């Protein structure tokens, strides 16, 4: 019986599982997106998130601990038939990825199911991705409410017919400020054509 035995065996020995986990996470940090099976992705995700949390500390001890857990393989690109060393996985983790997630408390990766199945054993394929930096700013911008300026309030009142003389003047001034800009842009567009 497997009582209180955590983790997936994945039909591998302990050494093979650890090597596979290290390779998958190193590839994830290098490419920021990898395609793998659902079981492997679920097994690798916590390890990758712990390494990113460790990298957010940014200390020398944290860097040494990350090297001990992951290894420090080179990132190699091929340009014009030549292999060119671009850095290391740990270097990218500490210099690019960790600063991206400084104000994010967790959830650095996501699993996206693909409709494809693996040809050999019909395994469910997924994409394991690092969450992009632009998504945190998009969520913040959605939460912000649109500020109503005097001009927009006056324009709305004029459109609804509830405007007083003061608000009509504000709306007219706002329209006069925006109208020359739109006419100038239309004139420039017609000249270019």
Residue 90, in any domain of the structure: yes
Q: Which pLDDT tens digit goes with each residue over 142-192? A: 554 455 565 666 666 666 666 555 556 655 655 655 555 555 555 555 555
Q: Which pLDDT tens digit goes with each residue over 79-97? A: 999 999 999 999 999 999 9
Residue 40, in any domain of the structure: yes
Q: What is the pLDDT of residue 66?
A: 97
Q: Same structural domain for residues 121 and 26?
A: yes
Residue 2, in any domain of the structure: no
Question: Mapping DSSP to helix (H, G, I), strand (E, B) and coil, where does residue 128 land?
Answer: strand
Q: Which pLDDT tens digit goes with each residue over 114-129? A: 998 999 999 999 999 9
Which ranges of 82-163 would DSSP assign to H, the alpha helix?
Answer: 89-92, 98-100, 133-143, 150-160
Domain count within the chain: 2
Q: What is the pLDDT of residue 48?
A: 97
Q: Same structural domain for residues 20 and 81?
A: yes
Q: What is the pLDDT of residue 145?
A: 46
Residue 7, in any domain of the structure: no
Q: Same structural domain for residues 76 and 154?
A: no
User: What average pLDDT does the segment 59-79 reach?
Assistant: 95
Q: Same structural domain for residues 79 and 166?
A: no
Q: Which pLDDT tens digit goes with each residue over 2-54? A: 899 999 999 999 999 999 999 999 999 999 999 999 999 999 999 999 999 99
What domain range includes position 158? 150-186
Q: What is the pLDDT of residue 168?
A: 61
CATH at 24: 3.90.1030.10
Contact 89, 29 (CB under 8 A): yes
Strand partners, 34: 128
């Amino acid at each position: 019986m497997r009582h209180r035995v955590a983790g997936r065996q994945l039909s591998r020995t302990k050494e093979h599982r650890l090597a596979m986990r290290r390779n998958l996470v190193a590839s994830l940090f290098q490419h920021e997106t990898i395609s793998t099976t659902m079981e492997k992705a679920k097994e690798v995700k916590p390890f990758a998130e712990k390494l990113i949390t460790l990298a957010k500390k940014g200390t020398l001890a944290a860097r040494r601990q990350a090297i001990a857990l992951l290894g420090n393989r080179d990132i190699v690109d091929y340009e014009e038939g030549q292999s060119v060393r671009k850095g290391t996985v740990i270097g990218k983790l500490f210099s690019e990825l960790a600063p991206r997630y400084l104000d994010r408390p967790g959830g650095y990766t996501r699993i996206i199911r693909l409709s494809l199945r693996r040809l050999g054993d019909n395994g469910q394929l997924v994409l394991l991705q690092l969450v992009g930096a632009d998504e945190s700013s998009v969520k913040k911008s959605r939460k912000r409410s649109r500020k109503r300026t005097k001009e927009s309030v006056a324009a709305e009142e004029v459109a609804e017919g509830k405007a007083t003389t003061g608000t009509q003047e504000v709306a007219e001034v706002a329209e006069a400020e925006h109208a020359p800009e739109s006419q100038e842009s239309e004139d420039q567009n017609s000249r270019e054509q």
